[in-house]
């Protein structure tokens, strides 16, 4: 969105600043998104040149300055308090809450943290009215549109802005062109890496916050990943688990150590050295991470493991049975090198 129309977001930020009387706003963009940073920097220059931001905006006496800050590429800096720490020049570690940013935010000042999509909606809501916005989507709570980034085994991966409340089937078949081959859909990640997996039984679930939560997952970032028949769900969960292991900031023990143990146990299963009791170990590890961490990352990290165990336990068991049949399950632990955390 910001690389196509950055001014929508800047205008939304100016509206938000005006509404709360803030005179300074920061755009935090993750380090890898260099193109986006260049585009936003240019847009800030254009807005400044036109007098839309800066001091005494269009002679109104209103002052709003905006600054762009590039992160160093940490997933956890999407968590609002880690983002604030990073913005203050510290290591991006989540803060213990309360206090919340609304009272103790950036430099300990009251702070509003919002995402690009929310801010970009503001100019349209101001121009057309809240009733117009609320008339789109899935009332009462999921109104308006949402941008879904659809990827995976589909014909047309991409970003699709649709009214909230359409079904996964409509999003995948009508917008993303359907499955890329004649293989059937096997799994959907409905809202980014931290959302519990759905199966083909969830195709008619509505894409709104309440419906997806009721079905056992979350809309999260709006990143929808589609997987076809033949995909190994144990592999898919392991790949996500490796990501979470790498991105855990390490502040709290259940997440720091738990993600590492989950990866090692899952790698053993995938390498066909697993034992049936590993499945209980996986569940036990997840239960000891859930609700015991400083931020929501811990709960997010276990979603791929728990949901694949729930829907595709037979795939885990099959790999373990193969290990047992080959006599590999009794061999010493398989230690594979772990990626270095930064």
Q: Which positions lie near ligand SF4, rule CB under 6 A?
A: 76, 94, 248-252, 255-256, 293-295, 297-298
Task: Spell out the long-range contacts of 47-51 with Cβ–Cβ below 8 A and sequence spacing 24 or more.
Answer: 47/7, 47/10
Is the separation of the CB atoms in 148 and 222 below 8 Å? yes
How many C-beta atoms surround the C-beta of residue 192 within 10 A? 18
Shortest Cβ 198–ligand SF4 spacing (Å): 24
- The SS3 call for residue 164 is coil
The H-or-E segment that residue 287 falls in is: helix 277-289
∠ CA(238), CA(271), CA(231), 5° rounding? 50
Instruction: Please report how close the Cβ of residue 79 comes to ligand SF4 at its closest, in angstroms.
Output: 7
Q: Which residue's CB is nearer to ligand SF4, number 101 or number 165?
A: 101
Beta carbon nearer to ligand SF4, 225 or 259: 259
Residue whose C-beta lies closest to ligand SF4: 255
Whole-angstrom distance, CA of residue 197 vs CA of residue 307: 6
Least distance to ligand SF4, CB of residue 196, Å: 17
Complex with ligand SF4: residue 48 or 256, whichever CB lies closer: 256
Residue placing its CB nearer to ligand SF4 in the complex, 94 or 223: 94
Closest CA to 80 of 327, 71, 252: 71
Least Å distance, CB 282 to ligand SF4, is: 18
- Is 94 or 304 the residue whose CB approaches ligand SF4 more closely? 94
Report in angstroms how near the CB of residue 247 gets to ligand SF4 at its nearest.
Answer: 7
Shortest reach from residue 48's CB to ligand SF4, in Å: 36
Residue placing its CB nearer to ligand SF4 in the complex, 2 or 262? 262
Strand order across the 158-163 sheet: 158-163, 145-152, 223-228, 185-189, 198-199
């Amino acid at each position: 969105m910001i690389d196509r129309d950055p001014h929508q977001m800047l205008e939304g930020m100016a509206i938000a600043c005006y509404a709360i009387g803030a005179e300074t706003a920061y755009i935090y963009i993750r380090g890898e998104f260099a193109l986006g940073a260049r585009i936003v920097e240019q847009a800030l220059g254009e807005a400044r040149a036109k007098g839309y931001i800066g001091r005494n905006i269009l002679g109104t006496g209103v002052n709003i300055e905006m600054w762009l800050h590039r992160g160093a590429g940490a997933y956890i800096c999407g968590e609002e308090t880690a983002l604030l720490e990073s913005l203050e020049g510290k290591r991006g570690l989540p803060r213990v809450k309360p206090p919340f940013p609304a009272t103790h935010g950036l430099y300990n000042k009251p702070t509003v943290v919002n995402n690009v999509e929310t801010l970009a909606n503001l100019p349209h809501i101001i121009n057309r009215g809240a009733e117009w916005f609320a008339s789109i989507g899935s009332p009462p709570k999921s109104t308006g549109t949402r941008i879904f980034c659809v990827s995976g085994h589909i014909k047309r991966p991409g970003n699709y802005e649709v009214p909230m409340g359409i079904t996964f089937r409509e999003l995948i078949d009508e917008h993303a062109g359907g499955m890329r081959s004649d293989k059937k859909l096997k799994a959907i990640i409905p809202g980014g890496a931290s959302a519990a997996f759905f199966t083909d039984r969830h195709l008619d679930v509505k894409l709104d916050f309440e419906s997806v939560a009721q079905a056992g997952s979350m809309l999260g970032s709006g990143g929808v990943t589609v997987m076809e028949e033949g995909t190994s769900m144990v592999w898919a969960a392991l790949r996500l688990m490796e990501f979470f292991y790498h991105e855990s900031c390490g502040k709290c023990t259940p997440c720091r150590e738990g993600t590492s143990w989950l990866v090692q146990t899952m790698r053993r299963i995938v390498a066909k050295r697993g034992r049936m009791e590993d499945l209980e170990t996986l569940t036990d590890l997840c239960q000891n991470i859930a609700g015991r961490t400083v931020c929501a990352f811990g709960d997010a990290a276990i979603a791929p493991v728990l949901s694949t165990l729930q829907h595709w336990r037979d795939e885990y068991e099959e790999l373990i049975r193969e290990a047992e049949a080959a006599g590999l399950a009794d061999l010493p632990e398989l230690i594979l090198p772990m990626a270095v955390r930064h």
